[in-house]
Amino acid sequence: MKTATTPLIQSGSKATTILRQLITRNWLIVLILLLGFLAPYSPTYSQCLPPPAPLNCPIAGSIPLVEGMVLTAGNTYTVTGVLNINNITMSGGTLVVCGTLNLANLTFNSGNLYVPQGGFFNYTNGVTALVMGTNSNIYNFGTTTFACSIVTGPNNIINNCLITSVFTTPFNQMIVQGPNTYFINNGTFVSSFFIVQSTNAANPVCSGPGSTITTNTMINQLANAFNSPDGPSCIQITQNIINSQPMTASGNVNIGYNAGSVNTIQGPAFGSATVSNPCFTCSVPLPTGIVSTTAECNNLNIQVDWLTDSEPTRAVYDIQYSEDGNYFADVAQVVCEQATMEPQSYSAEIPTVYSSVSGYIRLKRTSETNETSYSETLTIDCSTDPDILIYPTMVSGSEITVLAKEAIESIVMYSMDGKVVQIIDVQDKKEIVLTIDNDVAIGQYLLMVKTRNAQVDKLIRLAR
């Protein structure tokens, strides 16, 4: 019994005539051409895909994120301060988390989730996996945590952009799959399972030098899925290995595991990786140029001192203050006068308005090429038993509570250029819940509260 088949090239066609002529002249050329036509296309990269250009908050012209919002193409949406949201849908556009976003449910059809340096994205739904739709991307410059599993699809990019970036799915799975989809790690990534499944992308997992992927269980189903083209990076495996294909063709990929405690179900199939048994650390010094930082209360100010190992370029140092350790604001700036390879010492004072409460201090260093890095975060406490309490200072609504030990005589809100914005009716009470006028714009203000024997000037950030 003969089975009828349809030829790839129809008899009598112009292509048939050309092929016959080529066969007559050189059969090898025909073979090369056919292999070129029939072989699947698979791109290769000598370097990891670069992160997008950094975004500086606040974003002019952006739309504040609200509950139940549907994000659409062509628009930029922002989160400032601390925001708790139950549900949003992304169908295009860019969401920039300038502050802290605690999000319970995300339908991720398409678009870009962007977490800049200093931003915190916390996905709290640990039950349902986040399935990324076509052309959905996550760019993390700051800190991102998912309680659930993440499953990629076609044309996705997940980029943990900087060596200081932290991205975690500590209790669930990171599943990298889908055509033209890439996972790039330049910082610290932690997951319970790291799974690479069928994909047509060459080296879909690419690591920057000094970066670390830590996972309990590694499952790899694609040959040479991992690459580290620019220098050594690390993969730490703590419990299980299920590798049906060799992981990498690069000796820059350092794999650390303890054979005595890690269960090799299939594999290990590490390929050309540099293997260390037992585990090792892959941390590298951060290129901040800042050797040490101190912050101390000095009368009514906070004195900040720091030392650098060198100044190869003229850097700008921003002193940043935070009350909660999450949202930092620039409060002072020092500019390096000249480039030098010698150690340099710097000192600056934060204005009195910041010194009446406990909080956190850090330095942001920006080079001439706009590369930013951060010092360690310091805890500072200049407070005593306060006569006046004011909270919250990061206001997402309209209300602020003021508590005093004695009757409040006056409350006045000033703009940062000293103009009166609002005068509050106090009625000689010790406790007042004041309401900020609806026409007061988003921004920073100074709230001055006086009693007979005390006065507090408090910086208020309005982010409604």
Residue by residue, what is the 3-state secondary structure of 35-53? Answer: HHHHCCCCCCCCCCCCCCC
Which pLDDT tens digit goes with each residue over 223-275? 999 999 988 899 999 899 999 999 999 999 999 888 778 899 999 999 999 99
Which pLDDT tens digit goes with each residue over 56-106? 888 999 999 999 999 999 999 999 988 999 999 999 999 999 999 999 999
Strand partners, 364: 318, 374
How far is 351 from 109, CA to CA, in rounded Å?
A: 46
Which pLDDT tens digit goes with each residue over 22-38? 334 443 333 332 333 33
Element (H, E) at 297: strand 290-298
Q: State the CATH architecture for 290-381.
A: Sandwich (2.60)
pLDDT category of residue 283 using cuts at 50, 70 and 90: very low
- CATH number 2.60.40.3080 is the correct assignment for the domain at 388-462: yes
Backbone angles phi, psi at 243, to 5 degrees: -115, 110
Listed by start position, the domains of the chain span 15-43, 63-276, 290-381, 388-462
How far is 65 from 463, CA to CA, in rounded Å?
A: 11
Q: Whose CA is closest to 107, among 79, 122, 80, 86?
A: 86
pLDDT category of residue 20 using cuts at 50, 70 and 90: very low
pLDDT value of residue 158: 97
pLDDT value of residue 24: 41
Measure the CA angle with vertex 45, ends 234 and 275; round to 5°.
25
- Residues recorded for the chain: 464
Reduced to 3 states, what is the DSSP secondary structure of residue 279?
coil
**What does DSSP assign to residue 441?**
P
- Furthest-apart CA pair in the chain: how many Å? 107
Cα 177 to Cα 111, 121, 152, distances in angstroms: 18, 23, 6
Comparing 35-39, 129-133, 439-443, the range with the smallest average pLDDT is 35-39
Is the fold of 290-381 the same as that of 388-462? Answer: yes
Burial of 41 per CB tally in 10 Å (0-12, 13-18, 19+): exposed
pLDDT cut 70: percent of the chain above it: 79
Taking a C-beta distance cutoff of 8 angstroms, is the pair 248, 270 a contact? yes
Exposure letters 99-126 (e unless 16+ CB within 10 A, then b): bbbbbeebebbbbbbbbbbbbbbbbebe
Average pLDDT over residues 309-335: 77
Q: Is the pLDDT of residue 417 over 80?
A: no
pLDDT cut 90: percent of the chain above it: 42
Whether the upstream peptide bond of residue 392 has omega within 30° of 0, thus cis, is yes
Taking a C-beta distance cutoff of 8 angstroms, is the pair 331, 317 a contact? no
How far is 101 from 121, CA to CA, in rounded Å?
A: 5
pLDDT category of residue 7 using cuts at 50, 70 and 90: very low
Which pLDDT tens digit goes with each residue over 361-392? 888 888 766 777 777 788 777 665 567 888 77
Taking a C-beta distance cutoff of 8 angstroms, is the pair 77, 92 a contact? no
Residue position matching structure tokens 């090239």: 9
The pLDDT mean for the chain works out to 81
Average pLDDT over residues 172-187: 94
Taking the CA of residue 28 as centre, how many other CA atoms within 13 Å lie in the half-sphere pointing to its CB? 0
The token pair that represents 163 in the structure block: 């060596």
Residue position matching structure tokens 């009446």: 356
Rounded to the nearest 10°, the torsion over CA 446, 448, 449, 453 is 140
Tell which wins on pLDDT, 36 or 344: 344
Neighbour tally for 410: CB within 10 Å: 13
| Ordered DSSP codes for 229-265 | TTS-EEEEEEEEEEESS--BS-TTEEEE--TTTSEEE
pLDDT value of residue 369: 66
Residue position matching structure tokens 């009514």: 300
Average pLDDT over residues 209-221: 92
